[in-house]
Amino acid sequence: MGLPLIGDKVPEFTAKTTHGVINFPKDYEGKWVVLFSHPADFTPVCTTEFVAFQKRYDEFKALNTELIGLSIDQVFSHIKWVEWIKEKLGIEIKFPVIADDRGQISELFGMIHPGKGTNTVRAVFIIDPKGILRAVLYYPQELGRNMDEILRMVKGLQVSDANGVAIPANWPNNELVGDEVIVPPASDCATAAKRLQEYECYDWWFCHKKLK
């Protein structure tokens, strides 16, 4: 079986976590999920990432989105690291962290890249309420992630789904259309002819509108 691609159903698995055993994606049916891997516990960049995710946890929750971390460390290591973050940094990590100590889940999702060693890279999988993979990001171990971009991706995907529109670069601060969204291109001549009267457009194939 190949690695999951955008538009695929994500692989099913059962895993031990800091919050107990989970059955994925069944336990998260009806919710968006950000599943992300980190190289190792008790490492500086990963610690900054966990703090950054937790500081935005309420924003993710407001979008009906759950966070799930993962590395190939054992659950005892995860528990001790999460305790350290709370004790030393004053941040309580409220989302579960998967202990993939045998690497089986990492293999399913392509989280281990041999050219970068035997631990997991910084992978991100955004999964919708139907268990469909909607977006994938891979960062190398040496580069921490931008959590605001991951949050923006979830928001953008939800807006696209709800309104049948596309999301421009750097939305909601796009250089051409600001916080507006892109109207899907016309698929026939009659619709194309009407577009310039119906929306603000640079041309019939590049129209945009405000969200209601």
The single residue of 46, 189, 201, 207 carrying the catalytic annotation is: 46
Asked if 145 and 122 touch (Cβ cutoff 8 Å), the reply is yes
**Residue 202's CB: how many other CB atoms inside 10 A?**
11
Q: Confirm or deny that 122 is annotated as ligand binding.
A: yes
189 is catalytic: no
β 200-203/206-209 pair status? antiparallel
Classify strands 65-71 and 97-99 as parallel, antiparallel or unpaired.
parallel
Written as six digits, the tokens of 118 are 């035997």
- For residue 6, give every residue at least 6 positions away whose Cβ sits within 8 Å of its Cβ, in sequence order, or none: 133, 134, 135, 136
Q: Which residue numbers are catalytic?
A: 46
Annotated binding residues, as ranges?
Answer: 122
Annotated binding residues for substrate, as ranges?
Answer: 122
